[in-house]
């Protein structure tokens, strides 16, 4: 535990070391807003960013954060996207676009063909088996 200043209201609070720098009160408030946004998107498919901000009292920054964490997703029709962290291409949610994800996987695979510890190899074989089962 360390004492931190809440990034929203400026109150001092005991920060647990993970998550946003928000005091318990602001965190509760944020959870409330999140629930509202999620429900609103559920009921209003195709809702635009500005609409959600107005109706739910969320900020664009919060919404983009939730999109990045894949906690919410706007429909394709809404045109709301965030940038792929690798190539900057617009994506609906998460960190990477489909191509970058595929490329990352390929790179990881290439890396794992080098010399390995027996333990690592075992995990890889396990992964391969899981892959075959799919
Ligand atoms: Zn606060
Ligand atoms: Zn990309």
| Ranges of each domain in the chain | 26-96, 98-134
Residues 6 or more apart from 9 whose CB is under 8 A from it?
23, 25, 26
Q: What distance in angstroms lies between residue 13's CA and the mean position of ligand 2's atoms?
A: 38
Higher pLDDT, 127 or 106: 106
Dist. CA 2 → ligand 1 center (Å): 15
Quick check: 92 pLDDT over 60?
yes
Distance from the CA of 57 to the center of ligand 1, in angstroms? 16
Q: Among 83, 24, 75, 31, which Cα is nearest to 57's?
A: 31
Å from CA of 98 to ligand 2 middle = 7
Question: How do residues 19-44 score in pLDDT, each as one tens digit?
Answer: 788 999 999 999 999 999 999 999 99
- Distance (Å) from CA 56 to ligand 1 centroid: 19
């Amino acid at each position: 535990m360390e004492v931190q200043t809440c990034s929203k209201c400026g109150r001092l609070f005991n920060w647990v070391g993970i998550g946003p720098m928000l005091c318990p009160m602001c965190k509760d408030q944020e959870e409330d807003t999140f629930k509202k946004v999620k429900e609103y998107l559920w009921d209003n498919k195709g809702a635009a960013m500005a609409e959600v901000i107005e109706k739910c009292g969320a900020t664009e920054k919060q919404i983009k954060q939730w999109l990045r964490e894949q906690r919410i997703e706007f429909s394709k029709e809404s045109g709301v996207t965030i940038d792929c962290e690798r190539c900057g291409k617009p994506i609906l949610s998460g960190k990477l676009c489909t191509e970058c994800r595929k490329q990352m996987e390929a790179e990881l695979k290439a890396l794992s063909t080098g010399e390995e510890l027996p333990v690592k190899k075992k995990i890889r074989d396990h992964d391969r088996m899981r892959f075959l089962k799919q």
